[in-house]
C-alpha cells in the first residue's frame, strides 16, 4: 500500500483517517492482530461482508438527515468505491457494499469533504442517534428534538468514555408520545415533555433492546430537565463502560447489566458517577440544527394532468400537513430500502425545485421530504411516479421493513429482502384496502438478531431453518403481537410457530383473512391478538408447519435458485474483544499518548478518562499472565488487587481500587488531571518494566 495523504480542514478528522490508513498497513504486514484490527475498523464504519475480500461501509447520518449535496456525494462515492447501490437502514444510516478495505481511507476523506462521517457507525460505540423523521414539522410535537439528538451525537463522537465499551449503545428521540422512534427498545430513549411551567425536558426510557432476547425499557425519569440530557447520558456511558460485560458478547448489552445487578443498583451507580462528568449542566444549542428554508416559489406548468385515483391514494397515505401552515411533508416509499446511485441523482434533480434541502431517512427505510407547497403536490407526485418512487401505502401493512439478510450479511440465514418484496406485492394485489392501514406493521430479519426489527412487529418473521427428508429447509419463525403502544410503552412479539420460508405468503394470507373475519368493529390488531390468544394462532398456522408434504421448490429460499444451505459467518455487530498481553500493553502506551495530548490541550476530563483506560488496560494485560481474564473493568480492578497488590507483588502504597476509582470521587479539574495522569504514567512504566524483566529472564 502507498502512504495516504489527505488535506482536510478539520485536523482531528484528518488525523483519524491517516491513522486508519496506517493501521490497515500494519494489519496487512501482520503487525496488528486480526481481532484487534476488526474492533478498530468497525468503530470507523467498516464492516466485514458475507462475500470475502470486500467490506460494507456504514455512513453515520445523525437522526437520518442528509442534504441534496450530501446524497449526491454519497452516490458518487458508492459508484467509485462500491457497487453503485445505497441501502437505507432502520437506524437511519446509509450503507454501501463491495468496498475494498485498502480504499476505505480515501473513501472516508471524500465523504468528510461534505461533512459526512463513518466514525462510530459500527463497533462498541454510541451508534447513530436516531429520531422521528418528522421532528421539527410534526403538528403535535412539544418541541423539535433534532437539536438535542444532534447534541448527543456531537458530544459523544470520539469521546474517550465510549470508544471501547463492552458493546454498542443505541439512543433515540421521538417527536411525540406516539413514539415513532421506538424509545422502548433502546438503551436510552427520550420522549419530549413540557412541565407545568412550560419548561422543556424528556421522559427517559432505559435499557431496552431487541436481539435474540428482547427487553422492554424501563421508564427511569418522567421529566429530565433539558440541561441534564447530556450529563445523564454521560453518567450512563461511564457506568456501562466500567461494569458492562466484555467477554461474552451475548450478555454484553446494557439490558443484561440491569438484569445482573438490578435496576436500582445500576441507577445508583449512574448517580454516583455524576461528580466525574465533564458537564454538570449542558445547554443545548438550539440553532445547531435549524429548519431548512422552504423552496422558492416555482412557476408551475400551466397544464398538469388531472390527478387520478392513484394520486388520491398517494395523497391519503404518503402526505401530511406540517405544523408550518401551508406546507406538507411527503413520504417516499423505498422498496426494501435500496436506491441505485443513478436513481438517487435522478431523485434529487426531480424534487429539488419543490422541497426543502433536507431529506430524512426513516426507520422503515424510506425518505421524508419537507416543506412542499400544496400547489406543488400534483407535479411532485408526477415526478416521483416517473422515477418509480410514488408507491402508496407508506408505513402501512404494504410497507415491509427488512434487513439485507443473506444478500450481504455474515449472520443472515434467509433472504429477507426477496421475501419482503414478495409480501408487499401480495398486499398490493390481494388486500389493496390494507395499504391504508398504518396500524399493522410487517417486519423481517434474516436471522434472530432483529436488525429488521421483527421483535416489535405486529406480524414479524425471522430467518431460520428446519430439517426434512435429510435436507435443510429454509424457514421463518413467525412472530405476532408486537408493536408500539405509545409514550415509551411497547410490546415484544411472541414466537408462535416456525414454517418453511416459501409458506410465509400463506401465513400472511391466513392471518389477514382471520383478522378480517374475527376482529370486532374498530378492534386493533393488538386487541384482536390478545383476545384470541397465542394458541389460537398456533393452531391456525399449524397446518403450514407440516413438513410431510414439502414440494421441491420449498428447499430453495426466496430469490435463490440453488438448494438452501445454512452458511453463517462471524458476526461483527459489536466487534470482538481480544485479550493479547502484548497488544494490551501497546494499547496502554497509545492511550498514555492520548492522555498526555489531552492534558496539553487543557481537556482535563478527556485526559482523566484516558489515564483511567491506561490503568485498566495495563492491569488487564498483567492479569492475563496468570490466566485471569475478567469480563468487566470493575472485575479487572478487583482481580488485580487480589492477585498482585494484596500479596505484595506490585506495591502501590494503596489498593489498586483506591488508585483507579479516584476517577469518580473527584471533579475533572486540572489538579486532579495532573495527579491522575502522573499516577497512570508511573503505573504503566512499572508494569512495562516488570514484563520486560520477565521476558528477558525467560529468553536468557
Q: Where are the domains of the chain?
A: 11-64+85-112, 138-276, 309-386, 402-555, 581-699
Residue 577 — pLDDT band, cuts 50, 70, 90? Answer: very low
Q: What is the mean pLDDT of the chain?
A: 91
Mean pLDDT (whole number) for 611-639:
92
Does residue 588 register a pLDDT over 60? yes
**Is residue 696 scored above 80 in pLDDT?**
no
pLDDT of residue 574: 41
Task: Quote the CATH superfamily of domain 138-276.
Answer: Sulfite Reductase Hemoprotein, domain 1 (3.30.413.10)
Which residues lie closer than 8 Å to 19 by C-beta, 6 or more apart?
none
Q: Going along 161-270, which residue ranges are E strands? A: 171-173, 188-194, 200-206, 218-225
Q: What pLDDT is attached to residue 624?
A: 86
pLDDT category of residue 681 using cuts at 50, 70 and 90: very high
689/54 Cα distance (integer angstroms): 41
Distance CA 225, CA 200 (A): 6
Q: Which CATH number is associated with domain 309-386?
A: 3.30.70.3340
Q: How confident is the model at residue 404 (pLDDT cuts 50, 70, 90)?
A: confident
- Which pLDDT score is estimated for 302? 60
Instruction: State the sign of the Cα–Cα–Cα–Cα dihedral 372, 374, 377, 380.
Output: negative
pLDDT surpasses 70 at 40: yes
pLDDT score of 566 more than 60: no
pLDDT of residue 655: 95
Give me the percent of the chain exceeding a pLDDT of 70. 93
- Class of the domain covering 581-699: mainly alpha
Spatial separation of the C-alpha atoms in residues 420 and 429, rounded to whole Å: 14
Q: Is the dihedral of CA 552, 557, 559, 563 positive or negative?
A: negative
| 258-274 mean pLDDT | 97
Closest CA to 65 of 20, 31, 120, 115: 115
Given a contact cutoff of 8 angstroms between Cβ atoms, the answer to whether 270 and 235 are in contact is: yes
User: What is the CATH code for 402-555?
Assistant: 3.30.413.10
Local structure of 428: helix, strand or coil: helix
Q: Is the pLDDT at 422 greater than 80, yes or no?
A: yes
Smallest CA-to-CA distance from 133 within 364, 354, 313, 341 is with 364
Q: Residue range 434-442: average pLDDT?
A: 94
Q: What's the pLDDT at 698?
A: 64
| Mean local confidence (pLDDT), 243-270 | 95
Confidence (pLDDT) at 48: 84
Distance CA 277, CA 148 (A): 18
Q: Are the C-beta atoms of 590 and 540 separated by less than 8 Å? A: no
* C-alpha cell recorded at residue 340: 441505485
pLDDT greater than 70 at residue 158: yes
Terminus-to-terminus CA distance in the chain, angstroms?
Answer: 37
Band (526; pLDDT cuts 50, 70, 90): very high
Average pLDDT over residues 21-40: 82
At 126 the pLDDT is: 97
Lowest mean pLDDT among 21-35, 224-238, 399-413, 473-487: 399-413
Q: What is the pLDDT of residues 472-525, one digit of tens each?
A: 888 999 999 999 999 999 999 999 999 999 999 999 999 999 999 999 988 999
Lowest mean pLDDT among 291-305, 320-334, 468-482: 291-305
- The residues, ordered by sequence, that sit 6+ positions from 352 with a Cβ below 8 Å of its Cβ are 68, 295
As a three-state string, the secondary structure of 285-325 is CCCCCCCCCCCCCCCCCCCCCCCCHHHHHHHHHHEEECCCC
Q: Which three cell numbers stand for residue 643?
A: 492477585
Confidence of residue 625 (pLDDT cuts 50, 70, 90): confident
Domains 138-276 and 402-555 share a fold: yes
Amino acid at each position: 500500500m502507498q502512504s495516504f495523504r489527505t488535506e482536510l480542514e478539520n485536523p482531528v478528522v484528518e488525523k483519524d483517517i491517516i491513522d486508519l490508513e496506517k493501521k490497515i498497513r500494519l494489519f496487512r504486514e501482520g503487525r496488528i492482530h486480526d481481532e484487534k484490527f476488526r474492533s478498530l475498523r468497525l468503530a470507523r464504519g467498516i464492516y466485514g461482508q458475507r462475500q470475502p475480500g470486500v467490506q460494507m461501509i456504514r455512513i453515520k447520518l445523525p437522526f437520518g438527515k442528509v442534504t441534496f449535496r450530501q446524497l449526491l456525494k454519497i452516490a458518487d462515492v458508492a459508484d467509485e468505491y462500491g457497487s453503485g447501490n445505497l441501502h437505507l437502514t432502520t437506524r437511519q444510516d446509509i450503507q454501501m457494499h463491495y468496498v475494498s478495505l485498502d480504499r476505505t481511507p480515501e473513501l472516508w476523506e471524500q465523504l468528510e469533504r461534505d461533512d459526512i462521517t463513518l466514525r462510530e457507525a459500527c463497533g462498541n460505540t454510541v451508534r447513530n442517534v436516531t429520531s422521528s423523521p418528522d421532528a421539527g414539522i410534526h403538528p403535535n410535537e412539544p418541541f423539535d428534538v433534532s437539536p438535542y439528538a444532534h447534541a448527543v451525537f456531537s458530544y459523544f463522537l470520539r469521546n474517550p468514555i465510549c470508544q471501547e465499551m463492552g458493546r454498542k449503545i443505541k439512543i433515540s428521540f421521538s417527536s411525540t408520545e406516539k413514539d415513532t422512534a421506538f424509545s422502548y427498545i433502546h438503551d436510552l430513549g427520550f420522549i419530549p415533555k413540557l412541565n407545568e411551567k412550560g419548561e422543556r425536558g424528556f421522559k427517559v426510557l432505559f435499557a431496552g433492546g431487541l436481539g435474540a432476547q428482547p427487553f422492554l425499557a424501563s421508564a427511569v425519569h418522567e421529566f429530565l430537565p433539558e440541561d441534564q440530557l447530556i450529563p445523564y447520558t454521560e453518567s450512563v456511558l461511564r457506568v456501562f463502560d466500567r461494569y458492562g460485560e466484555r467477554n461474552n458478547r451475548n450478555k454484553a448489552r446494557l439490558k443484561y447489566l440491569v438484569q445482573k445487578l438490578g435496576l436500582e443498583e445500576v441507577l445508583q451507580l449512574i448517580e454516583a458517577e455524576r461528580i466525574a462528568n465533564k458537564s454538570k449542566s449542558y445547554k443545548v444549542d438550539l440553532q445547531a440544527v435549524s429548519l431548512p428554508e422552504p423552496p422558492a416559489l416555482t412557476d408551475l406548468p400551466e397544464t398538469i394532468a388531472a390527478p387520478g385515483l392513484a394520486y388520491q391514494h398517494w395523497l391519503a397515505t404518503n402526505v401530511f400537513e406540517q405544523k408550518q401552515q401551508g406546507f406538507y411533508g411527503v413520504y417516499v416509499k423505498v422498496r426494501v430500502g435500496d436506491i441505485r446511485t443513478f436513481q438517487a441523482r435522478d431523485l434529487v434533480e426531480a424534487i429539488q425545485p419543490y422541497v426543502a434541502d433536507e431529506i430524512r431517512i426513516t426507520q422503515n427505510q424510506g425518505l421524508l421530504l419537507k416543506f412542499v407547497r400544496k400547489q406543488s403536490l400534483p407535479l411532485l407526485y408526477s415526478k416521483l411516479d416517473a422515477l418509480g418512487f410514488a408507491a402508496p401505502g407508506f408505513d402501512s401493512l404494504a410497507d415491509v421493513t427488512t434487513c439485507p439478510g443473506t444478500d450481504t450479511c455474515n449472520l443472515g440465514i434467509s433472504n429477507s429482502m426477496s421475501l419482503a418484496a414478495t409480501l408487499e406485492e401480495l398486499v398490493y394485489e390481494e388486500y389493496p384496502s390494507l395499504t391504508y392501514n398504518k396500524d399493522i406493521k410487517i417486519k423481517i430479519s434474516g436471522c434472530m438478531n432483529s436488525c429488521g426489527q421483527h421483535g416489535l412487529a405486529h406480524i414479524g418473521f425471522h430467518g431460520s431453518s428446519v430439517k426434512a427428508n435429510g435436507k435443510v429447509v429454509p424457514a421463518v419463525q413467525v412472530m405476532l403481537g408486537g408493536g408500539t403502544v405509545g409514550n415509551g410503552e411497547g410490546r415484544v412479539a411472541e414466537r408462535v410457530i416456525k414454517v418453511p420460508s416459501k409458506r410465509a405468503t400463506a401465513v400472511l394470507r391466513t392471518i389477514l383473512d382471520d383478522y378480517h373475519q374475527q376482529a370486532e368493529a374498530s378492534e386493533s390488531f393488538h386487541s384482536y391478538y390478545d383476545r384470541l390468544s397465542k394458541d389460537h394462532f398456533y393452531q391456525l398456522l399449524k397446518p403450514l408447519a407440516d413438513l410431510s408434504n414439502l414440494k421441491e421448490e420449498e428447499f430453495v429460499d426466496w430469490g435463490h435458485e440453488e438448494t438452501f444451505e445454512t452458511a453463517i459467518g462471524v458476526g461483527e455487530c459489536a466487534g470482538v474483544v481480544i485479550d493479547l498481553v502484548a497488544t494490551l500493553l501497546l494499547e496502554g502506551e497509545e492511550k498514555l499518548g492520548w492522555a498526555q495530548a489531552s492534558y496539553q490541550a487543557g481537556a482535563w476530563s478527556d485526559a482523566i478518562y484516558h489515564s483511567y483506560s491506561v490503568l485498566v488496560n495495563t492491569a488487564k494485560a498483567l492479569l492475563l499472565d496468570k490466566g485471569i481474564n475478567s469480563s468487566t473493568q470493575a472485575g479487572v480492578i478487583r482481580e488485580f488487587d487480589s492477585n498482585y497488590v494484596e500479596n505484595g507483588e506490585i506495591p502501590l502504597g494503596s489498593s489498586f481500587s483506591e488508585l483507579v476509582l479516584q476517577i469518580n470521587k473527584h471533579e475533572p479539574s486540572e489538579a486532579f488531571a495532573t495527579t491522575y495522569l502522573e499516577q497512570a504514567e508511573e503505573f504503566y512504566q512499572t508494569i512495562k518494566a516488570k514484563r520486560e524483566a520477565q521476558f528477558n529472564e525467560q529468553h536468557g
